[in-house]
Structure 1
């Protein structure tokens, strides 16, 4: 496949290497200085750009009838607009807060745990996420996905970085140099604690998952997520 990289920072460069290793080529390398996109020689687009440019990148890909996957976080207030836009244009779009296979398994474990324990009032819940200091958004998209899955499967009704009541999932965001990504979900009571944790050792898993998603979405129409790609749940 010929892949457009919409965002050519650290993740974009790792995705480029992984894509080439898997037999693909790169048709576009767009960074913050890129002013226009020409998709005439592109099969699929991978967006790892900035929150300020993700929406325009995704819409440009859909307009060009190029399937697009996005791992950019911090723009999700426009997600439903993108879903409607993709369906209206009969395009193909896939968003994931995290493309790692391990994280997507972690998501499924989190949902099961929320169903099992989330309604027991003795347990207090918090999510902790740790990322590198160059990450622009907080909390991470992965932490938000964990919180939203808990809300859908338990008594909790909201999430916040400053916890306001017992029905709110508290998220703590920490930034430490050179940490690819760590996420911890902790249920704590007076008698015991239950904790699940995912630690990324590097960015290779994110890049590989993004390329696998790009391979999967080729020639498809609709709005998808990584559960579709990995047939999880």
Structure 2
């Protein structure tokens, strides 16, 4: 697994590993780097099957496989413990890591994540898959911003969105990979085990997220013994991009930076 380290590079520096959502790209976290890098060693990576780690995924690919990759990165970089921040699918990776290897984690930040897939989110993924089947990568990527960003923000950032769409088509992870990754998040369910996860956790959600209802984060925070829920009123599914100043402030406060 290829990865990169930003910010502090000295051995033993406090560290955070960032895990993206279904797109899988480490670059998703660009708006957070200025806030995190001055005080932390920041580990970025593209999830297996995407970006610089693009390769065919095995049958039965799961969130557990994704956690194996994270553990491999930590071992390769000789990082014993770290903070972990995951967005949506990346949050599921964080939950499974906290369940399996709590000794590897200091603090956990879950952004628009869930303990089991909500019926509304499942409907959204079904629609996106039909778009992929009917219109190919271009149709899938063109629809993606509708699930990520609020309408007013999309209107104000039309040029940026167009550039992201073009980039998304050029670097599309491939139908087989995408469907295996969607199947992995569909199958994930730790709802009966939340009470066993003791890691100090910040759960972040946005009331106007059209992909993952904020109530999924509420359920997470209620089920985790050491969790705090922070709700933004606006920002959509990707509030770390639409309002990075507010998002970064909440995260750095939680990490005591």
TM-score for the superposition, normalised by structure 2: 0.33
- Choose 1 or 2 for highest CA Rg: 1
Structure with higher helix content: 2
Structure with higher strand content: 1
